[in-house]
Amino acid sequence: MTEPVRWGILGAAGILEASAPGISLAENARLVAIASRTDEKAHAAATRYGAERGVEGYDALLADPEIEAVYIPLPNWLHQEWVLKAAAAGKHVLCEKPMAVTATDAQAMIAACASAGVVLGEAYMYAHHPRFDRMREMISAGQIGQPHTVITTFSFDASADLDHSGFQGMPGSGAVYDVGGYAIHSARLLLGAEPHAVTARSTISALHGNIDITTSALVEFPEATLLFHVDMAGADTDTIEVIGAHGRIVVPHAFLCGPGQGDFTVNDHVQDVPETNHYVAQIERFSRAVRNEQPWRYATEEPWQLARALEATSRSYQRSERVPF
């Protein structure tokens, strides 16, 4: 049996409640260490999430020769710095979404990892659930006809948590960067096409760092339209509806899919899907890529393409105009 990939985590962010077990439960991964800025926090996180040890300082973890791959769940504006440092240290990198705040940043990260010969992945975990492969197959087989509209909503209420990383007014803050990427990423995945223009409108919250706390957008694809609403101060919702010429696909719990929530409907018929932890599936796929057993799920340029779309969406709501890209 292939030796498990030895993982480290940079940071003890709250998202580890969901993502860290993905490493611990994966058959081909081993959670060796979690780093935090203080020794106390590092050891507390290691104990909480089942890592073998805590490490004080991100640089110290990157210098550890035992670590082969790192997961980076840091705030968006810190991604480029630590992806570049990880690549320079020869570590494979799975970076939390969105990997890059700008397309230029994405290009720099892609180039650095290619030069270092390490695998680079953007952690859109939802797409590793087998239902998305089945949906793509059904769309390709014409079961709903030519898809012409995708409607996506992703909302949650974090408005009382003023320390939330999405509320700091830093580059990559706000609803578009926090959850808007899911809407664009999934539409690209299901349509098999790239968007080319966006028109967005937002509600800006001064209390939360002058960020877009809600955004609604129309994203143009060559033969379809994505309509999405993302909200950091709304009721919990994460749904996708794909409307075609002859039918539709409806996906409840599209992105935050817990136990028993993987089913979806095609033309009102429920599709049963094997129970899957998409965080575990993501880590196992990435670890296979590290061992050269299977390619990473996404093309190398994928984070750059998504960063272009996120930048354009931000420009659109800031300028109140349609933005081609």
Do 167 and 88 belong to one domain?
no
Q: Which helix (H) or strand (E) holds 22?
A: helix 16-25
Q: Are residues 81 and 229 in the same domain?
A: no
pLDDT at 1: 66
Q: Assess whether 144 and 118 both reside in one domain.
A: no
Task: Say yes or no: 201 and 232 in one domain.
Answer: yes
Which structural domain range is residue 91 located in? 5-125
Tally of domains within the chain: 2
- Does 132 map to a domain? yes
Q: Are residues 192 and 210 in the same domain?
A: yes
Q: What is the pLDDT of residue 282?
A: 98
pLDDT exceeds 90 at position 96: yes
CA distance linking residue 56 with residue 39, whole number of Å: 5
Please check whether residue 283 lies inside any domain of the structure.
no
In the predicted model, what is the mean pLDDT of residues 130-135?
97
Specify the pLDDT at position 276: 97
- Note if the pTM is more than 0.75: yes
* Residue 131 shares a structural domain with residue 221: yes
Cβ(113)–Cβ(107) below 8 Å = no
pLDDT per residue over 214-258, tens digit each?
999 999 999 999 999 999 999 999 999 999 999 999 999 999 999
**Among 125, 145, 166, residue at a domain's last position:** 125
Residue 46: band (very low, low, confident or very high) from pLDDT cuts 50, 70, 90: very high
**Cis peptide preceding 274, ω within 30 of 0:** no
Q: Name the percent of the chain lying above pLDDT 90.
A: 97
Segment 209-214 shows an average pLDDT of 97
Please answer whether residues 219 and 312 qualify as being in contact, where contact means their C-beta atoms are separated by less than 8 angstroms.
Answer: no
Is 97 assigned a catalytic role? yes
Q: From the candidates 41, 85, 91, 97, which is the catalytic residue?
A: 97
The three-state secondary structure class of 191 is: helix
Mean pLDDT of 197-203: 98
The span from the first CA to the last CA of the chain, in angstroms, equals 46
For tokens 């093309």, what's the residue? 299
Whether residue 299 has pLDDT greater than 90: no
